[in-house]
Amino acid sequence: MTNSTAKEEILGRIRNAQKIAFSGKDLASSAGVVTGTPGEHFAVPRDYERTSDMPREEVISLADERIADYKADVRRCSAEPAEINEAVKKAVADAGAKIVGIPSGLDKAWVSGLDEGKGEIRVDEGLGVRDLDALDAIVTSSAVTCAETGTIFLDGSPACGRRALTLVPDVHICVVPADSVVYGIPESISRLRDADPTVPITMISGPSATSDIELNRVEGVHGPRTLMVIIAG
């Protein structure tokens, strides 16, 4: 089929649909689509899978696997603040970061000692673009993580930080509490109900990357080039 023939077929289908619509026929009902009554509440069917009975340890392992599939550096530790602190210190050292930014509400025990020696911690209380660009890395927490897709959600809370903080610096070290990891997207979204509706939700599926027309992967285009995830618990 040539482009010209395909175009004529598509336009023909549009004209036919318009003709049927103008004749007063209800296309939705004839197709088995329930449209509801204009102006009235429509009860959306929720018959899809909303939870999972997968054992917790398997959910955590799946999250570990899926996040790593995106070329993120995934590490594990216990939920003890001291162990999280050690894991964060090692991640910062491995990244070669000296100036580390953190959101104002991050648990300070997680980053204790990072400012010793030549290191420096800068708390984001409205840092400008140049100040954000000067950061070698950032350390944040996370709101919820979907194991099925390997997606980490940041809700703009004081522990997750504002969107600019997580997009400008080149290295993002994200602490994922194990008890915030769920199996699927529906459960992830339900966990975000208490998030501030005026703040954009940031969904992270690996380091920033894209592909050109030749399918050559390019990293660090519109966000951190390196994502290091610490699953705590």
- Say if residue 131's pLDDT is above 70: yes
Greatest CA separation found in the chain? 79
Pairing mode, strands 171-177 and 99-103: unpaired
Better-predicted residue by pLDDT, 73 or 47: 73
Claim: this prediction has a pTM higher than 0.75? yes
pLDDT at 30: 66
Given this model, what pLDDT does residue 26 score?
67
CATH class belonging to 56-232: alpha beta
Task: Give the Å distances, CA to CA, from 40 to 5, 36, 62, 95, 178.
Answer: 43, 8, 41, 55, 41
Confidence of residue 25 (pLDDT cuts 50, 70, 90): low
Task: Enumerate the domain spans of the chain.
Answer: 1-45, 56-232
Q: How does pLDDT run across 188-215, given as a tens digit for each residue?
A: 998 898 777 788 899 999 887 777 788 7
Give 71-111 pLDDT, tens digit per residue: 999 999 999 999 999 999 999 999 999 999 999 999 999 99
DSSP for 137-165, please give it.
Answer: EEEE--SEEETTTTEEEE---TTT--HHH
pLDDT tier, 1 (very low <50, low <70, confident <90, very high otherwise):
low
Q: What is the mean pLDDT of residues 5-30?
A: 79
The DSSP 8-state label assigned to residue 168 in this structure reads: S
Please indicate whether residue 14 or residue 21 has the higher confidence score (pLDDT).
14
pLDDT at 139 over 80: yes
Q: Residue 200: what pLDDT?
A: 86
Percent of the chain with pLDDT over 70: 94
Q: Which of 115-119, 181-185, 188-192 has the lowest mean pLDDT?
A: 115-119
Residue 35 reports pLDDT greater than 80:
no
Is-contact 95 120, C-beta < 8 A? no
- Report percent pLDDT > 90 for the chain: 62
